[in-house]
Amino acid sequence: MRFDLWLAYALLDLWLSLTPGPAVMTVVGQGVRHGWRRAAFGAAGISSANLLFFGLSAAGVGAFIAASPALYLFLRWGGLAFLAWTAVRLLVSRESALGKVREVEGRPGPLFRQALAVQLSNPKAIVFFTAILAPFLDTTAAWSIPAQVGVLALTTTLTEFPVLVGYAALASHGSRLLPAGRLGLWQDRFAGACLLGVVVWLAARGS
């Protein structure tokens, strides 16, 4: 694989990772509510979904979903409905009833699954990965296409994961500046607003 192609991809991927979007908003909400260490599991969920997208894109599934409106709509709106329900629950919950929810949702598994759902609820990402990979693959290289895709997938993971954790750390630190007392309630409200913002972001991108 040519070094110039890899470097160009790495720089582009870093810029995309730093750009606020659904993934960033998700880990920011988790960071405020649960701290950056636990939000790291959410970042891992985002990275896992991206790795799956890399695999599907390499296998040509992106073109299949792009050509299958029914499957596309089912995956897209089903995932968005789940995320919207979770966001509304956070926004309308009472403080006195939030303890058990926080205890469950703050575990690594639920945080990982929530972030995974955010990324997987946007099937357009598969088409995006298919489109963005093509210019950086060298068909004349000694490396096979799957090997080159693997390198790019590893590059994305090593680039995006620390960026997401960094966003979560900044959000977690900022939450400490909020007044005590009803802090838990406001953290939940902020987390719900961030998650709802993710839903709006994805829905606004069209069908």
Q: pLDDT tens digits, residue range 24-49?
A: 888 888 888 888 899 999 999 999 99
pLDDT attached to residue 107: 83
Of 128 and 156, the structure prediction assigns the larger pLDDT to 156
Mean pLDDT on 132-149:
76
Nearest to 29 by CA among 183, 159, 197, 203: 197
Lookup result for tokens 């099937």: 123
Minimum mean pLDDT range among 6-10, 125-129, 167-171: 125-129
- Give me the sign of the Cα torsion angle 100, 105, 108, 110: positive
- Greater model confidence, 105 or 26: 26
Average pLDDT, the chain: 76
Beta strands in 99-199 (DSSP E): none
pLDDT in the model for residue 163: 93
Q: Output the CA torsion 33→38→40→44 (10° steps).
A: -110
pLDDT at 87 > cutoff 80: no
User: Around 82, how many Cα atoms within 13 Å sit in the side-chain half-sphere?
Assistant: 15
Residues 130-156: what's their mean pLDDT? 79
Give CA–CA dist 36/178, Å, rounded: 16
Higher pLDDT, 24 or 104: 24
pLDDT at 181: 42
pLDDT value for 24: 84
Predicted pLDDT at 66? 62
pLDDT in tens, 49-85: 999 988 887 776 556 666 777 766 776 677 678 768 8
Residue 146: how many other CB atoms lie within 10 Å: 10
* CA 126/CA 123 separation, integer angstroms: 6
Residue 76 pLDDT: 66
Give the C-alpha separation, 1 to 148, whole Å.
Answer: 7
In this prediction, residue 101 carries a pLDDT of 32
